[in-house]
Structure 1
Amino acid sequence: MSDKTLKVALLGAGSVGSQVVRLLSEQADDLAARVGARVELAGVAVRNLDSKRDVEIPEHLLTTDADALVAREDVDVVIELIGGIEPARTLILSALKNGASVVTANKALVAADGPALFAAAAEAGRDLYYEAAVAGAIPILRPLRESLAGDRVTRVLGIVNGTTNFILDQMDTHGADFADALAEAQELGYAEADPTADVEGHDAAAKAAILASLAFHTRVNAEDVHCEGITKVTAFDASAAAAMGSVVKLLAIAELSDEQVSVRVHPAMIPLKHPLASVRGAYNAVFVESEAAGQLMFYGPGAGGAPTASAVLGDLVTVLRNRLSGTTGVGESAYADRAVRPMSETVTRYHVAIDVEDRAGVLAAVAQAFADNGVSIKIVRQEGRGDDAQLVVVSHQATDGQLSATVERLRGMDNVRDVTSVMRVEGEAE
């Protein structure tokens, strides 16, 4: 073991940061053995010195001057856990410029400005690791970046937001509506007081961009991701999925087709036989398909202080080993530089519920609207309700543009009262 002591600066002491402090202390001897040198916490930057924390942090380590902490010459690695774009971006760039490697859990920043961060790390000859940015404790980024480096990944399909999975699970198993399920998620601490980033899909979209970038060796940022949340999912959608032997999940989907990349986040029906259908509560799972390895699934807690801290410490050990040996790990791989396919050209299947007048010829007119836009119907079911009826149509594969045109056509028809639900169908072959 080296006589050198490696020093770590921590930015943020919230639920994850506090657990990082705890693990650094409790596992000090094991970490030293794994790294090859003692690891010492140099300082912890916080916004408020007097805030109550989950773990007691020695007073002499606390500081409100994050800029000074990341600029210290004796700091070997900076762990960034404050989140958001700024000041995290400036602090990370400063740390790299001053000679420290960086470990971060900041999905929003990596998805929005990854190329600039990777370029700064390469110029400084330092590491930038971010396993904890996607799916908490689940090791998914390292397998994509390293374990599958000799394979060709064709699809990544994942449940990467625990809050939305909990809400949809409640809607499926208890028949709850969205508002009640969200309220329960907030009461249990799964959802924030302002759940917008989760329920509107923004959190999952940032993670999807990171997954796609790694899987397909192409720069994909959050703006490239088609994003729909779960706020419009209804109890009817959940029951309709159950009637089809399916369940509704918010999916992050990255696909490679015709040498183009498509990346999207939206609710979808998946069959109960698919491995992702059994992911319940606030858990996460990522399903990877590749040419040689076939189908792989990674499952576990996708958030929480201790699980996420586990991923942070895993990166820290690797980065410190590299630091000790004078090397760096794998950097950005964007050599493929593939085009990102527009959502309108993305192909999938659809479940469409239509309220219509219950009279002769309506079904034929609806079927014609699908046919005129090139959307082939696989299943159609009609339920009468007095003067009204509901048609449920499940299509064969079609582009999103074709389906959108069909829905627009349907909504303009005199005998169609409303298109009440449009849900994509994933995870099942034709």
Structure 2
Amino acid sequence: MRTRPLKVALLGCGVVGSEVARIMTTHADDLAARIGAPVELAGVAVRRPDKVREGIAPELITTDATALVKRGDIDVIVEVIGGVEPARTLITTAFEHGASVVSANKALLAQDGAALYAAAEEHGQDLYYEAAVAGAIPLVRPLRESLAGDKINRVMGIVNGTTNFILDKMDTSGAGYSEALDEATALGYAEADPTADVEGFDAAAKAAILAGIAFHTRVRLDDVYREGMTEVTAADFASAKQMGCTIKLLAICERAADGGSVTARVHPAMIPLSHPLASVREAYNAVFVEAEAAGQLMFYGPGAGGAPTASAVLGDLVAVCRNKLNEANGPGESAYTQLPVSSMGEVVTRYHISLDVADKPGVLAQVATVFAEHGVSIDTVRQQGRQDGFGEASLVVVTHRAPDAALSGTVEALRKLDTVRGVASIMRVEGE
């Protein structure tokens, strides 16, 4: 075993960073045996130097992250500060000064992954980011290494624990959205400002990363269709149960049937209770992969938290350190297909539409005519009168597969009918 230690610098020492430092210290002998050389924590960049950080020598703490990545004797930088800047500049500076990078920064990778890959390649360094998607679940490496010889057609999953916890509580307890969010916040699953989670921004960044790896093409955050789950109601869950479904916020990346384009999207969807993703409970994550040769695979586990995310970071750290010892590099960007990313309007799926309509003869015929005029075939219809004295009925239509653009046109036309008082809910049906 090599005696000179590999030097690691840590950018950020919050929930994840502190856990990374702890594991590096408590499992130092095991890490050294797995890597083939000892690993030394050589510096930790933080914003608040006065905070007590148990297990980290005070002399390692610095507020000058730029100076740390420019030292020249650092072998690997672990970036867990998040956000686009200063993380982007620090990572590219690290490459320039001879350090490989392990990152958990989904937002940066989704926005500027191609530029980071190029900088890493230019300077002969590695860029690993298993922790950026689905926490401890081994997903990025299987997609870009284990399945590198296969053709992946679809990746669909629950990649945000906060939203899954909320929807699971709404499903199992009958709670409303606000009530379920309050419980998620009290338990620490939701941030004080949950916007990134509940509006789908977090999942969209992960979808961009997954689509890029799975389809060997560049997919940016701006390419991902995003729809949050704040409008999901108890009535939606009631309708889902009548169909033998539940509701999940899904990240879906898929290759077009002709193979000529890809799509990436995040939105709530009904999925059959028979689908493996339907049984994913609480704050867990799961990703369902459909490959040409391997068939259907599912990756499941805790998708967030200090220890699970640190586990993914340490896995990358071991791999990158091994590459350093062998003077080799792991896989870089694979974007040789350069497939176009289609718009949401071209996505073909099924739909569940709930309408408030006038309770009188002929309404169903009018609604069916609008669907037919826009080329959307109806699978089932359920109509129920109301006892509220306003002469209204609820009409639930489930369609066959149709392009999203055709469905949008249908809904726009329905809103113009005098007999349609409102479109209560529109939800896609996936996983069948």
TM-score range, shorter chain: over 0.9
Matches within 5 A, 1:248-397: 248-257=247-256, 258=258, 259-386=260-387, 387-397=391-401
TM superposition shift of 1:74: 1.0
Q: Which one of the candidate residues 402, 409, 412 is aligned to 1:408?
A: 412
- Give the 3-state SS of the residue equivalent to 1:381 in structure 2: strand
Distance 1:17 1:3 in 2: 26
Distance 1:242 1:142 in 2: 36
Distance 2:116 2:294 in 1: 31
1:222 alignment partner AA: L
Q: TM-score, normalised by structure 1?
A: 0.99
The answer to whether structure 1 residue 221 and structure 2 residue 217 are counterparts is no
Residue equivalent to 2:105:
106
Runs of 4+ more than 2 Å apart: none
Q: Show CA shifts across 1:19-42 (max 9, x none).
A: 001100011000000000010000
Distance 1:110 1:385 in 2: 50
Residue equivalent to 1:88:
87
2:346 alignment partner AA: E
- Give the 3-state SS of the residue equivalent to 2:131 in structure 1: helix
- Give the 3-state SS of the residue equivalent to 1:50 in structure 2: coil
Distance 1:378 1:14 in 2: 51
Distance 1:4 1:145 in 2: 31
- Give the 3-state SS of the residue equivalent to 2:353 in structure 1: strand
Residue equivalent to 1:121:
120
Distance 2:51 2:394 in 1: 56
Distance 2:360 2:134 in 1: 50
The root-mean-square deviation of aligned C-alpha atoms, in Å, is 0.7
Distance 2:35 2:70 in 1: 23
- Give the 3-state SS of the residue equivalent to 1:137 in structure 2: coil
TM superposition shift of 1:52: 4.7
Q: Which one of the candidate residues 409, 418, 423 is aligned to 1:419?
A: 423
Alignment CA distance shift 1:69-1:412 (3 Å): same
TM superposition shift of 1:239: 1.4
Matches within 5 A, 1:182-193: 182-193=181-192
Residue equivalent to 2:37:
37
Residue equivalent to 1:21:
21
Residue equivalent to 2:229:
230
Q: Show CA shifts across 1:260-316 (max 9, x none).
A: 101000000000000000000000000000110000000000000000000000000
1:50 alignment partner AA: D
Distance 1:48 1:261 in 2: 43
Distance 2:98 2:57 in 1: 26
Q: Show CA shifts across 1:367-395 (max 9, x none).
A: 11111100000010000114111100000
- Give the 3-state SS of the residue equivalent to 1:340 in structure 2: coil
1:14 alignment partner AA: G
Distance 1:177 1:287 in 2: 28
Q: Show CA shifts across 1:299-334 (max 9, x none).
A: 000000000000000000000000011000000000
- Identical counterparts, % of pairs: 68
Distance 1:194 1:67 in 2: 29
2:362 alignment partner AA: G
TM superposition shift of 1:50: 1.7
Distance 2:273 2:251 in 1: 18
- Give the 3-state SS of the residue equivalent to 2:191 in structure 1: coil
Task: Count matched residues.
Answer: 427
1:324 alignment partner AA: L
Matches within 5 A, 1:32-181: 32-53=32-53, 55-181=54-180
1:90 alignment partner AA: T
Structure 1 stretches lacking a partner, 5+ long: none
TM superposition shift of 1:56: 3.6
- Give the 3-state SS of the residue equivalent to 1:248 in structure 2: strand
Distance 1:228 1:91 in 2: 32
TM superposition shift of 1:58: 1.5
Q: Show CA shifts across 1:38-63 (max 9, x none).
A: 1000010000012255x442111111
Distance 1:73 1:345 in 2: 49
1:250 alignment partner AA: L
The answer to whether structure 1 residue 246 and structure 2 residue 245 are counterparts is yes
Distance 1:264 1:51 in 2: 40
Structure 2 stretches lacking a partner, 5+ long: none
Distance 2:55 2:345 in 1: 52
- Give the 3-state SS of the residue equivalent to 1:85 in structure 2: coil
